[in-house]
Amino acid sequence: MAVLGLLFALLDSLSKAIDTLINKKIMRTRSAEEHAVLRIMFVIPIFFIASLFNYRLEAGCIGFLLLYGALEAVNIFCHQLAVKSSNAVHVEMIAKSKVLLAMIVSFVLVIDTLSVGGVIGIVVFVAGAVLTINFQNKNDDRTGAKGIFFEIVSVIARTFKPFILKTCVKRGLISNETMLFFSMVVALVLLFAVLRPRIDLNTVPVKAYTAQAAMVAAGMILSGWAVIYANIVIVNAIESMSVFFVMLISAVLYKKKYTALSAIGCALSVLGIVISIFF
């Protein structure tokens, strides 16, 4: 089961990379408020269908569900603000701090534990991830303090979500798919109430949002399965490989070039993940 969870995490990282690149393109013509709401509206029907195949919801999970939905709302909105004003690769790199936060939370709550080799592997991964940021390309978008702040807030919200999900699923209170569907409904209500975005449905790029919704849904479902079957900290590390997929796709499709230091960082991060899994 653990191997299956790690495979789900790897597939999730690929879907997240594609989502990040689609996200950046869509947001060139959308406000963060409008985009955050549209993103949820397009993905909810997919989660609804998924929940029909694996529905489970006990009364004791309502509080966790509301908290999960609130964290999702914060995560989505802050992440969109960060993506709109930052370099896609830099945003993905900042997001990798979730690995360290997950390690700390896991240690404090004693939900998942890591061996000494696992800790060393995660540290090596983070060190390699830092090296992949390419500051030398003058044609890249810059990442300012505003983008960094909003992505850090998003990371904090994202860090606690898998722990809530794993706790609820292990107790038999809810299924992964049911949690995703209802939490998105909660997030949509909260964002609508707080942001009150103006949405012109006639100008919404339906195909682009549908494609993104498919990537978002696939990533979140796979992420849920991953944390259920495997160690949360290691899953977070593997999911963090999305930054490398972003770089690979950008190099192939957009002909972006990265430094030798970035390549070394990628290799170091992969080594860190191998250490964390097998040692």
224 and 165 Cβ atoms separated by less than 8 Å: yes
**% residues pLDDT > 70 (the chain):** 77
The pLDDT score that the predictor gives to residue 135 is 45
Q: Which amino acid is at 45?
A: P
> Structure tokens of 142?
């810059």
Cβ atoms 195, 36 nearer than 8 A: yes
**pLDDT > 80? residue 101:** no
Residue with more model confidence, 35 or 164: 164
Residue carrying structure tokens 């997919």: 46
pLDDT tens digits along 249-263: 777 777 777 777 777
- Model confidence at 49, in pLDDT bands (50, 70, 90)? very high
Which position has the token pair 């972003």? Answer: 246
Mean pLDDT for the chain? 79
Give the pLDDT confidence score for residue 199 in this predicted structure: 80
pLDDT at 136: 40
Q: What pLDDT score does 129 carry? A: 67
pLDDT in tens, 132-180: 654 444 445 555 667 778 878 888 888 888 889 989 998 999 999 999 9
